Amino acid sequence: MAPQPAAPWNDTLDCGKGRMVYCNQFWFRTKTFEPDGQEDCLYLNLVIPKRRPHSNDKLPVMFWIHGGSFQVNGASVYPIRDQVANFAAQGIAVVTINYRLGILGFFSAGHADFHGNYGLDDQLAALRWVRENAERFGADASRVTVGGESAGAASTSLLAVSPKAQGLFSAAIVRSGSALSPWAVRTASTEINSAYVLSFCKCQYNHTRGMAPTKNCMKQVPFECLRNAWIYLAFSSESESAKSPINQYFMAHTHFAPVNDKYRLEESVVPETAEHMLRHRARMPLLIGVTRGESAQFIAGLIKRYELFDGDGELDLDLFVPESIYSNPRQVQNAVRFKYLNGGYAQALEKTELAQLLVDIITDQNFKAPVAKEAMLYARRNHSVYTYVFDHEAEQLMSRARKHGVLGSGAVHGNDMVYLFNAPTLSDPSIKEFHWSDADRAFSRELVADMVSFVKFRNVSNPKWPQFKPMHTVGMRLAPGHDQTFDFYSNVTQFWHETVRVIEHIDMRPEVVKVLQPCSMCSQPYKTPFYILLVVLLAFMSCSFYVFLQRQKVHQNAKYAVVQELKLLKNVAI
């Protein structure tokens, strides 16, 4: 169901005091997280500076979308006090929003009655509200910047190129996520998981009766049934004995996520693939980046939970390079081993080295490569692009990863949210309050200044920070007192978005592979595709040589015939 506008009111509406409600949360109950929420949740927070009397200056708007795997969190994870101090005090109107999550926000059956992307519809509705009401709160509707982190970044990335968001905002801030991330647009897995929910809650589709009875049934399903179905799917992704082919652990429980909804026709939010939309629809300035060790917290949990080696002693890459995402997965896995292990063996690594190897693989695959690819697609369309890596390791924020042997990985997913919004729970739910040092506060002011400058002027305040260009792929390394430029992961992007794509399309039919069986145990994984190409080349050369011989034979026969004819003529003449 599409989000509905609020009923109008005549007097001042009392929105109450304290924390704004959350939308229903889809997550586990733990000591540090107790899911709550309600279905009546489509609200937003608006924070504006106190205006000078008779001021005609219109405020730029920063519209922020929260992260949480599309399953959890809400606008209230960002403390109002810090929104005021960091942004409103600098002359910016700040909007933070709720949107529907999990099954309620992204359930999809590939059908007009269950079209999915309800959470994205909510975000669009909030953006339209800002456009329609900007003048009433002293803001400029033409100067709206949409930003987000993690799932909020992926949402921003999609909306920035969606035809449904055309004209609603004019700049984007994308932190630690992208529409190109493997977990961002999950059409097939979302529809499979949605079918399971129908079965779990006894609302199976019957083709003889059509979709209407199923839709009516789902309207009557209590929320607890939906949450229990979600928890079952989540446990299936974490079970060592039942590694799910659809809900992989490294996908961070994005069991219900945005989908390609082209069947909605003119109402479609994601009518094409994310890459096609970015390649052809990028239309605004972009500030985009990652933390250096995005996946360190995840790897810490994985090391604790899983056996990482298969029966042959090889690193089990089924956990990270599954067939549900990649065609030709075995050869892609071999390429990953070759790139990240350089032909060596993971078992020979120390625990800390193995942990760093896994951090590199998952961070490159899910964050660095997609983000760098998105930056390139924007730059090729001549838009202003600023890229960065957040590289400050605060001891308190790194403690969980280090506890499990993940050392020196770099700042983890969500660390930058502490310095921008004072929201440590987005990095580690067990941290309720961050212990600020003077250096931390100074670094926070630098990061905020760059964000404020981008929202106001579409550039950054740091004069040493260059624009990212197609032929000058530089980013800024952000750390206290150590800002420096670096190549923004062009080699990582080349591997995951070019080399892997080529490997996926190599023909691995059994009749071709059979010829190469003696090399199936080779330690160098690129030999198999190399020999396939070699066989094809030899076959081509053999055919060419045969054709050459036939032509020579014809040529010789023709020459012989001419000689014989001349002899006959000579005899006649005599």
| pLDDT tens string 427-440 | 888 888 899 999 99
Helix, strand or coil for residue 473? coil
Task: Give the H/E segment covering residue 7.
Answer: none
Asked whether 24 and 101 are in contact (CB, 8 A), the reply is yes
pLDDT tens string 526-535: 555 666 666 6
Give the closest residue to 168 by CA, choosing from 160, 179, 177: 160
Token pair listed for 496 = 């995951």
Say yes or no to pLDDT of 403 above 80: no
pLDDT at position 535, please?
Answer: 66
Q: 45 has which bridge partners?
A: 96
**Lowest-pLDDT choice from 118-122, 267-271, 388-392, 400-404:** 400-404
pLDDT at position 244, please?
Answer: 57
Q: Which residue has the higher pLDDT, 572 or 254?
A: 254
pLDDT at position 84, please?
Answer: 96
- Summarize the confidence of residues 6-21 as an average pLDDT: 81
Say yes or no to pLDDT of 485 above 80: yes
Whole-number percent of the chain with pLDDT over 90: 59
Long-range CB pairs of 264-269 (<8 Å, 24+ gap) are: 264/112, 264/115, 267/115, 267/164, 268/163, 268/164, 269/117, 269/120, 269/121, 269/124, 269/158, 269/159, 269/162, 269/164
pLDDT at position 52, please?
Answer: 65
pLDDT tens string 57-67: 899 999 999 99
Asked whether 372 and 388 are in contact (CB, 8 A), the reply is no
Give the closest residue to 69 by CA, choosing from 7, 152, 181, 129: 152
Work out the mean pLDDT of the chain and round it to a whole number: 86
Task: Give the H/E segment covering residue 305.
Answer: helix 296-305
The residue to which tokens 């799910």 are assigned: 244
Token pair listed for 249 = 């652990």
pLDDT tens string 18-35: 678 999 999 876 655 666
- Summarize the confidence of residues 109-124 as an average pLDDT: 94
Highest mean pLDDT among 239-248, 278-287, 501-510: 278-287
Say yes or no to pLDDT of 460 above 60: yes
Phi, psi dihedrals of residue 109, rounded to the nearest 5°? -115, 15
User: What pLDDT band is residue 448 in, cutting at 50, 70 and 90?
Assistant: very high
- Summarize the confidence of residues 179-202 as an average pLDDT: 95
**Lowest-pLDDT choice from 73-87, 94-108, 172-186, 345-359:** 345-359
Alpha-carbon distances, residue 525 vs 338, 491, 521 (angstroms): 6, 19, 9
**Lowest-pLDDT choice from 7-16, 19-28, 287-296, 505-514:** 505-514
pLDDT at position 348, please?
Answer: 76
CA distance 413 to 185: 19
Of the CA atoms within 13 Å of residue 268, those in its CB half-sphere come to: 16
Say yes or no to pLDDT of 568 above 90: no
Asked whether 416 and 428 are in contact (CB, 8 A), the reply is no
Of the CA atoms within 13 Å of residue 420, those in its CB half-sphere come to: 23
CA distance 269 to 280: 15
Say yes or no to pLDDT of 408 above 80: no
pLDDT tens string 233-252: 988 766 544 455 567 777 77
pLDDT at position 32, please?
Answer: 57
User: What pLDDT band is residue 54 in, cutting at 50, 70 and 90?
Assistant: low
Q: Strand 286-291 to strand 171-175: parallel, antiparallel, or no bridges (unpaired)?
A: parallel
Whole-number percent of the chain with pLDDT over 70: 84
Secondary structure string (H, E, C) spanning 493-552: HHHHHHHHHHHHCCCCCHHHHHHCHHHCCCCCCCHHHHHHHHHHHHHHHHHHHHHHHHHH
- Summarize the confidence of residues 368-385 as an average pLDDT: 98
User: What pLDDT band is residue 496 in, cutting at 50, 70 and 90?
Assistant: very high
The residue to which tokens 């005090």 are assigned: 89
pLDDT at position 481, please?
Answer: 84
Say yes or no to pLDDT of 219 above 90: yes
Say yes or no to pLDDT of 312 above 80: no
Asked whether 98 and 74 are in contact (CB, 8 A), the reply is yes
